[in-house]
Amino acid sequence: MSVRLEKDWQNWKWQLQNKIRNKESLESYIQLSDAEISAIEKTDSLFELGITPYYASLMDPLDTNCPIRLQSIPKIDELKFSDRDKQDPLAEEQYMPVKGVTHRYPDRALWYLSHTCAVYCRFCTRKRKVSKPMGTPNRNEWQSALDYFRRTESVREVILSGGDPLSLSEDHIDWILSELKSIPHINQIRIHTRHPVTLPMRITESLCRIFNKYFPIFLVTHFNHPKECSPEAREAISRLVKQGAVSVLNQSVLLEGINDSSEILKDLNYRLLSMGVKPYYLHQCDEVFGVSHFRVPIQRGKEIYQNLRGQQSGISIPLYVADLTGGGGKVPLLPEYEVETKEFTNIYRNYKGDLYEISNGNQQNEAE
């Protein structure tokens, strides 16, 4: 690779401008199967192809079961719709007081800022709007959102989302953070971004300096597989956390054939901790249209999750949750540890399956 090409490769704007959008471009990185070619052609009208050259470079060029390929290259299964599939499974539009703002929980609101992502993940919850420019709020609508936050004192946290909010220019990011930080009742700002995974060169020194002006910033990223924990991703996370202003957490989605194994998740979680990232959520895949082939049965998900408990450090284990279809919010999906409740004690099963009895806090009567 020439010096000029290497410089281009490290430029996040070049990566976005040269996003892979068709099979011809993708074939310069991998050998596509007939099934992949057919799926690309047949699913484009539903959800377009979009992959950064960087993320494509992580793909195994020959293995169609490569976890990077499975997350970003269409499968014909996307044309199969379950009876439970929804365009907007989390009812985000239903809880939208002003354009771009979803306010479901009492104390926090999500602000949709961009329709653009570095990679259009095939399991995306917002397939109805991501990659479609008409769904993006404009500058006047940003102001309406800020006005809503100012007058709604119950909002203590604003979550910047999209698309990917880090697809915005640094001037825009700086302005948005400044405006939010000027609202007295907002306690913290959270940024949800997959750029450290799919476009790590976006985490520039200048972006980190902006974050440093608005301490504390909580950034939630989205690694799903150990293969995504590349040297470039590790370097991007290091830039974020070593300057001290940003706390980085990770949310994964449990995906059939990609990370539906306790061994894969253990490896991922330990790699994340070694990078300075706290595993935060493990999501049950949402009931969005065309992704039923990714969904792991909940009972198997609970078994996978139980195999993590006690087998690795507690700080490396995310909380397994489902975001309820219809807008009910997140609920934990936990294995059953309580075996029996007695009058004064409860019996629990530990991670090995052994039974233990502990006091339940009820006062026993003194012996007469």
CA distance 351 to 343: 24
Structure tokens at 323: 């975001």
Q: What are the residues whose beta carbons fall under 8 Å from the beta carbon of 92, sequence distance 6 or more? A: 102, 104, 110, 112, 126, 327
Does residue 60 carry a catalytic annotation?
Answer: no
Distances from the Cα of 113 to the Cα of 101, 129, 329, angstroms: 9, 12, 21
Q: Of 4, 2, 11, which is closest to residue 201 (Cα–Cα)?
A: 11
104 is catalytic: yes
Catalytic, out of 19, 69, 108, 122: 108
Verify whether residue 108 is a known catalytic residue: yes
Q: How many CA atoms lie within 13 A of 135 on its CB side?
A: 16
* Main-chain phi, psi angles of 193, to 5 degrees: -150, 145
Set 120, 286, 295, 320: catalytic member: 286
Q: Does the annotation count 124 as an active-site position?
A: yes
To the query of whether residue 323 is one of the catalytic residues in this protein, the response is: yes
Q: Looking at 66, 117, 229, 285, which residue is catalytic? A: 117
**How far is CA 345 from each of CA 323, 342, 357, rounded to the nearest angstrom?**
33, 5, 6
Catalytic residue among 29, 105, 280, 348: 105
Helix, strand or coil, per DSSP, at residue 136: coil
Active site residue 126: yes
Question: Are 173 and 207 spatial neighbours (Cβ–Cβ below 8 Å)?
Answer: yes
Give the separation between CA 122 and CA 127, rounded to whole angstroms: 8
112 is catalytic: no
Catalytic residue among 122, 126, 127, 295, which? 126
354 carries an active-site annotation: no
66, 121, 229, 285: the active-site residue: 121
Beta bridge partners of 220: 192, 249
Active-site annotation holder among 86, 104, 266, 302? 104
* Order of strands, sheet of 338-341, starting from the edge strand that comes earlier in the sequence: 338-341, 345-349, 355-359
Nearest alpha carbon to residue 159 among 102, 111, 225: 111
285 in Cβ contact with 253 (< 8 Å): yes
Determine phi and psi for 7, rounding to 5 degrees: -65, -45
Q: 3-state class of 99 per DSSP?
A: coil
> Rounded to whole angstroms, how far apart are CA atoms 19 and 247?
29
- In the three-class reduction of DSSP (H, G, I as helix; E, B as strand; rest coil), residue 139 is classed as helix
Report, as residue numbers or ranges, the catalytic residues.
Answer: 104-105, 108, 117, 121, 124, 126, 286, 323, 330
